[in-house]
Amino acid sequence: MKILITGGAGFIGSHVVRLFVTKYPNYQIFNLDKLTYAGNLANLTDIENSENYTFLKGDITDAAYINGIFSEYKFDAVIHLAAESHVDRSITDPLAFVYTNVIGTVNLLNTARQHWADNMKEHLFYHISTDEVYGSLGEEGLFTEETAYDPRSPYSASKASSDHFVRAYFHTYGLPVKLSNCSNNYGPNHFPEKLIPLAIYNIKNNRPVPVYGKGDNIRDWLYVLDHARAIDTIFHEGKLGETYNIGGINEWKNLDLIKMLCDVMDEKLGREAGESRKLITFVKDRAGHDMRYAIDASKLVNELGWNPSVTFEEGLSKTVDWYLQNTEWLDNVTSGNYQSYYEQQYEQR
């Protein structure tokens, strides 16, 4: 089987690519990535010479390029992760999110539909999405697959739009699709603009750890390898046309999470207990900041037998160890363009 994985040089995509390349030596895995600031081939050095792996540098919005690779490689399936993924960036530059997340997705759907027209049923388009499409929860309740869409940031609006297009291609053209909507991931290769890797980077370097608002927003955290395992399960066992919610059953208030991370870092860095907590700095809140996300993953658990395998304590410890051991990776991604974006964000607060 030939599988096109888009966004495979990014955070989650790199774990999905590695899982598929190593677990399925008889599959040919093609990783298509534009290598934006978030894409990094250093995430894949351990598998880059595998016989069943090919990297393709390209942009999912480039119709001629996408058509060309579908003609050349004749993919059986697509797992689509490529996206602009950071909410704060979507507030500064919404159009970049429309181009990649909406137009890029429709471009892939269109090309797949044309190339697979003669034997549509033998193919699969699997779209990776987010729980943010469901909006924001109050103190009670969980997002289920039936929760009405209510995206509230430019990022989640662009992902919701892409989800609707994927379903529209299923209903209108019979394109075989699957979707999954996942909660917040954390783990190795996570770009240090997102809360957990940013906090690790800042604590390590004795810089302020920015907490938006009062730090009482809640997220449901899942170790990235458990997301990759869920994607593997849904790709192979999920029903066509269906959506599966993926979550960690692991809700944390941002401030509590950051305090715990500070304590883990104190221990690993040999600092005095409580030292890193002094770096916690309350900053201006994110515009339109969603209060709470929490996923009901019972459909995936009951129908397909998936369960998270890594506890939050284990996952956080492994994640911190990875960042402390991979200082070159961290130094590389925190230099150049990223550094200037980061400094600019700080100035705005």
Contact residues for ligand DAU (CB under 6 A)? 85-87, 130-132, 183-184, 194-195, 198, 210-212, 217, 219, 254, 286, 293
**Residue of 260, 232, 231 lying closest to 128 (CA atoms):** 231
Q: Binding of ligand NAD at residue 38 (CB under 6 A)?
A: yes
Respond yes or no: is residue 131 known to be catalytic: yes
**Which among 31-39, 209-217, 294-302, 306-314 is the span making contact with ligand NAD, rule CB under 6 A?**
31-39
8 Å CB contact between 3 and 30:
yes
* Beta carbons within 8 Å of 210's beta carbon, 6+ residues apart: 198, 202, 281, 283, 346, 349
**Residue of 315, 147, 146, 302 lying closest to 225 (CA atoms):** 315
Among ligand DAU, ligand NAD, none, partner that 39 touches (CB below 5 to 8 angstroms by kind): ligand NAD
Q: Give dist(CA 56, CA 68) in Å, integer.
A: 12
Among ligand DAU, ligand NAD, none, partner that 158 touches (CB below 5 to 8 angstroms by kind): none
Cβ 93 to ligand DAU, closest distance in Å?
A: 15
Phi, psi of 231 (to 5 degrees): -65, -40
Within 10 angstroms of residue 50's Cβ, the number of other Cβ atoms is 15
The nearer residue to ligand NAD, 242 or 266, going by C-beta atoms, is 242
**Which among 36-44, 248-256, 270-278, 313-321 is the span making contact with ligand NAD, rule CB under 6 A?**
36-44
List the one residue from 182, 265, 280, 300 that touches ligand NAD (CB under 6 A): 182
Q: Give dist(CA 266, CA 122) in Å, integer.
A: 53
Catalytic annotation, pick one of 131, 163, 251, 290: 131
Catalytic annotation, pick one of 33, 132, 220, 290: 132
Cβ 106 to ligand DAU, closest distance in Å?
A: 19
Among ligand DAU, ligand NAD, none, partner that 59 touches (CB below 5 to 8 angstroms by kind): ligand NAD
The nearer residue to ligand NAD, 9 or 279, going by C-beta atoms, is 9
Respond yes or no: is residue 155 known to be catalytic: yes
Catalytic annotation, pick one of 53, 126, 134, 155: 155
**Residue of 268, 145, 138, 140 lying closest to 200 (CA atoms):** 268
The nearer residue to ligand DAU, 326 or 345, going by C-beta atoms, is 345
| Residues of span 144-163 touching ligand NAD by CB under 6 A | 159
**Residue of 243, 69, 269 lying closest to 164 (CA atoms):** 243
Cβ 44 to ligand NAD, closest distance in Å?
A: 10
List the one residue from 30, 59, 145, 250 that touches ligand NAD (CB under 6 A): 59
Within 10 angstroms of residue 217's Cβ, the number of other Cβ atoms is 21
Respond yes or no: is residue 72 known to be catalytic: no
The identity of residue 171, as a single letter, is: H
DSSP codes of every residue in 274-311: TTGGGGEEEEPPPTT---B--B--HHHHHHH-----S-
Give the length of the chain: 349
Cβ 315 to ligand DAU, closest distance in Å?
A: 15
List the one residue from 11, 75, 125, 201 that touches ligand NAD (CB under 6 A): 11
The catalytic residue positions are: 131-132, 155
